[in-house]
């Protein structure tokens, strides 16, 4: 999908919001994402990729912001079905998204594979640079 397609209005037919405040919430996000992707019709390998990307974003909430929200949506663009995952928190934010998306870069001592991995696993990745506080990332994958 092109950036202009990303900005087009999609309709959401199924929305789930999950508070991410504790480590066990990451598993909840992963499982709910997998279930929604299955409901939409993604194949097993795609469901695993989508759930992995969601898990990476949820882990970042816990590690960097301590609390936030994940929103999972079944979306459509015309006749195309997809899934949209939004990660939102009020943590310290990401100062340099280009640097954060480089493999092996980490400000927290991790392997630095989470955000770049999530981007690779999905069709679309959007970082909300207009936020004054925290981080908001939207990822999408189309069926």
More confident of the two residues 123 and 131: 123
pLDDT-based confidence at residue 128 (cuts at 50, 70, 90): confident
pLDDT at 20 (0 to 100)? 97
Residue 91, Cα to own-chain centre: how many angstroms? 16
Sheet holding 80-89, edge to edge: 11-20, 68-77, 80-89, 135-142, 124-127
For residue 67 the two structure tokens come to: 């609390």
pLDDT at 11 (0 to 100)? 57
pLDDT at 106 (0 to 100)? 53
Q: For 96-111, how does the pLDDT look when each residue is reduced to its tens digit (9 = 90+)?
A: 677 666 755 555 555 4
The burial of 71, by beta-carbon neighbours within 10 Å (0-12 exposed, 13-18 middle, 19 or more buried), is given as middle
Q: For 20-77, how does the pLDDT look when each residue is reduced to its tens digit (9 = 90+)?
A: 999 999 999 999 999 999 999 999 999 999 999 999 999 999 988 999 999 999 999 9
Residue 83, Cα to own-chain centre: how many angstroms? 10
From 66, 58, 47, 60, select the one nearest 121 (Cα to Cα): 47
């Amino acid at each position: 999908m092109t950036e202009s397609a990303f900005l087009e209005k999609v309709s959401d037919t199924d929305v789930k919001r999950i508070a991410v405040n504790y480590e066990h919430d990451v598993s909840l996000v992963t499982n709910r994402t997998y279930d929604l992707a299955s409901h939409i019709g993604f194949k097993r390998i795609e469901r695993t990729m989508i759930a992995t990307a969601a898990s990476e974003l949820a882990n970042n909430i816990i590690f960097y912001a301590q609390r936030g929200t994940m929103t999972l949506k079944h979306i459509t663009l015309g006749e195309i079905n997809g899934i949209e995952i939004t990660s939102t928190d009020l943590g310290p934010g990401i100062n340099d998204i280009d640097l954060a998306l480089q493999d092996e870069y980490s400000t927290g001592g991790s392997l630095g594979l989470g955000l770049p991995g999530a981007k690779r696993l999905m069709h679309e990745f959007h970082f909300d640079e207009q936020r004054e506080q925290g981080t908001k990332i939207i990822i999408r994958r189309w069926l």
